[in-house]
Chain A
Amino acid sequence: MGDFVIDLIAATLRIATPLIFATLGELFCERAGVLNLGIEGTMFWGAFVGFTGASLTGSLWLGILFALIGGMLSGLLMSLLSVRLGVNQHVSGLGITLLMTALSLFGFRLIFGENRVLPSIAPFQQLNLFPNSAILGPIFSQYTLTYIAILLIPVVSWILYRTTFGLNIRSVGDNPEATDAAGINVYSLRTIALVIGGGLMAVGGAYLSVAQLGSFTFGIVAGRGWVCIALIIFANWQPLKVLWGSLLFGGVQALQSRLQLTGIKLPYELFLSLPYIVTILALTLAGRNVSAPAALLKPYKRE
């Protein structure tokens, strides 16, 4: 039983890692007033760029770096459309998802061809923080990226709530007119937020290919981006609550896959659809009280 729990906690952290990265990325975008539905495609793009970069250069960390840069470019494209041109955020975000997905599929076939054996790399090793502990050792045998993800939460929280930059991001998301009147460039700030956000989303995707899987499959992201959109609402746009939401989701998923292995008959699809249903319920119960950034979804036009 003890082993089961330890294994469950460790798996929860592993599953939560990409969600933490990508949800924090989405958080930057949404706090600045832009719903970035490009998240699903940007994660997929990050998984592709990360894997390809690592595979071609032989360095896993270079792969992650390429993914970060690639994701920032995706965020830049999103900002060009939704911030500079003021295109409807839903449609431009979905367009980004479609484009980044298509580019990744195209690029993967172009670079690796049609192989019967999936191209693969030796993925990251796990780092044991407590080699002498029988309990903490197995739990904290995680990829370095997992530790970075967890550390990133207080960092993002500090940036958003304790720095001028963070204050500006939040005010751009709540009241762009007033922020503009205070002499702050709304367009630039939203662009920066989208670029940071895109980078984080792509690193979340790259974690899947470069750390967890060691290969790139077409179903690698499998709706995780949409989970993050749900998590943000669940977390009420607060970085610290993103951690709990991600862990809860990771825990449910880790539990269901372990119960499935034990042969207990469970409708595991019900488990997997829970985060979506819970989010819809949360939206319903919270109704108008959800503290979404006031200017979310509204393109800003300077008069």
Chain B
Amino acid sequence: MIKLKLERTPAPMWSKALIPIVAVVVTFIITSVLIILADANPFTAYYNFIVVPLSSKFSALEVLVKATPLIFTGLAVTFAFASGYYNIGAEGQLYAGAVAAAWVGATFTNLPAIAAVPLELVLGFLAGMLWALIPALLKIRLKVDEVVTTLLMNSVIMYFISALLNGPWRDPETGWPKSPEFFEAARFAQLIPKSRLHIGFIIAMVLVLIVYVVLKKTPLGLQMRAVGASKVGAQFAGINVNRTMLIAALVSGGIAGLAGVSEIAGIHYHLISELSGSYGYTGIIVATLGGLNPIGSTIAALFIGLIDTGSQTVSRVLGVPVYLGDVVQSTLLLVTLGMLLLQNYRIKRQ
């Protein structure tokens, strides 16, 4: 009998590039079991998932609409994770940004768009930073694990928002828990008539470039990546680890805040407690699939946006529950995680 054993060897470059593609194929094979359980043909289902949404202008634009918040949260997570700061709080920071924007959108009714929109963005960014500040300070001052604190802060802000929406911001006429409607000038302009695509997408694209340049081309980015690779090593190299992590944590929170601004000013025009479809958590999927690279994470966000749109098509056409999309996304995350580690192993004869 031939004896086999696993041996750890560094992965060649080509395998890193192949991983996302192989992961998608493996995921589709696994999730096809569920499609068969739902009495549908997997090939037809995946055709509806991937091809149909891109075959009409309207639904293709809808993919971009759905990808927009994910581009923001993916960048937010990438920025923090790249520096070894595990910010799980993008969801809460997103809502912090949305609260700030909702306040602007309901208060300064006389502002022109040229002032209102930048004000929303700046305050949204600051609010996201503020919500990220406490866990970040606890991390660098007291070495309190940021994963648990950022996660708990997500729950805290949901109660804060619930208090706002059931208190001062409750709709006086209908009694619905939703904040006052944004005045016209505070809303993001539509990019294309009759589609929901708004300037939030353009802002996201600009941000991708900025984050890319900061991470890859500036001394700060180099320091961040050094800290992410090894805190001890970075310390020896004379890098101020705490300062670098603080910057990464705060900027990450700010970017997540922008996701909230973009969703509320571009789509909803008022604050509701269901504003985010778990975009903060999906941002972790996006950033992981993108290999903690801004460009990669943007491609991943577009792909997840495609799956989100496609799952609605599949549900409508084939009657497969729409949650198949969520199953595909989370399976893809786990498969990718597994493969990222497995690529370092080779099966050898003993």
Chain A residues in contact with chain B, CB under 8 A?
A: 35, 37, 77, 80-81, 85-88, 90-92, 94-96, 98-99, 101-103, 105-106, 109-110, 223, 226-227, 229-230, 233, 267, 269-270, 272-273, 276-277, 279-280, 283-284, 287-288, 297
Q: In the complex where A95-B334, A105-B321 touch, is A269 in contact with B163 (Cβ < 8 A)?
A: yes
**Contact: A288 with B155, CB < 8 Å?**
no
Q: Which residues of A contact B330 (CB under 8 A)?
A: 95, 98-99, 101-102
Residues of A within 8 A of B347 (CB): none
Number of A-B pairs, beta carbon distance below 8 Å: 128
Interface range on chain B (Cβ under 8 Å from partner): 35 or more
CB-CB under 8 A for A272 and B88, given A102-B327, A106-B34, A283-B149: no
Taking A99-B327, A283-B144, A284-B144 as contacts, is the C-beta distance between A230 and B152 under 8 angstroms?
yes
Q: Which residue of A86, A98, A223, A233 is within 8 Å of B329 (Cβ)?
A: A98
Max chain B CB contacts within 10 Å: which of A90, A267, A283? A90
Name A85's contact: one of B147, B163, B278, B342 (CB within 8 Å).
B342
Q: Which of A92, A284, A297 makes the CB contact (< 8 A) with B334?
A: A92
- Of B15-23, B56-64, B246-254, B280-288, the segment with at least 4 beta carbons within 8 Å of chain A is B280-288
The residue in B148, B154, B158, B162 that gathers the most chain A C-beta atoms within 10 A of its C-beta is B148
Contact of B331 among A87, A99, A101, A277 (CB under 8 A): A99
Tell me the complex Cα distance, A199–B138, Å: 33
A88 and B213 CA atoms in complex are apart in Å by 27
Query: Secondary structure at chain B's binding surface: helix, strand, loop or mixed?
Result: helix
Cβ of B333 under 8 Å from chain A: yes
Closest to B166 in A: A269
Q: Which residue of chain B lies nearest to A106 when distances are taken between CB atoms in the complex?
A: B323
Q: Does B156 interact with chain A (Cβ within 8 Å)?
A: yes
> Are B156 and A98 interface neighbours, CB within 8 A?
no
User: Which chain A residues lie closer than 8 Å to B321 at the CB level?
Assistant: 105-106, 109-110
Contact for A276 among B155, B327, B341, B342, CB less than 8 A: B155
* Chain A residues near B172 (CB-CB < 8 A): none
Q: Are A102 and B329 interface neighbours, CB within 8 A? A: yes
| Distance, CA A277 to CA B138, complexed state (A) | 13
Residues of chain A with a CB closer than 8 A to B112's CB = none
* Chain B contacts to A: CB under 8 angstroms: 34, 37-38, 86, 88, 134, 138, 142-145, 147-149, 151-156, 158-160, 162-163, 166-167, 278, 281-282, 284-285, 288, 321-324, 326-327, 329-331, 333-334, 337-338, 340-342
CB-based nearest B residue for A80: B338
* Pair A283/B138 contact, Cβ less than 8 Å: yes
Is A98 a contact of B326 with CB atoms below 8 Å? yes
The residues of B that contact A80 with a CB separation of less than 8 Å are 338
Which A residues are in CB contact (< 8 Å) with B144? 283-284, 287
Check B337 against A229 for contact (C-beta < 8 Å).
Answer: no
Q: Is the CB of B288 within 8 A of A101?
A: no
Q: A102-B327, A284-B142 are known contacts. Are A90 and B163 too (CB-CB below 8 A)?
A: no
- Asked if A105 and B151 sit within 8 Å, CB to CB, the answer is no
Please tell me if the beta carbons of B337 and A81 are within 8 angstroms of each other in the complex. yes
8 contacts between A and B (CB under 8 A): A80-B338, A85-B338, A96-B334, A98-B282, A106-B326, A106-B327, A110-B321, A223-B158
Contact of A91 among B142, B153, B331, B337 (CB under 8 A): B337
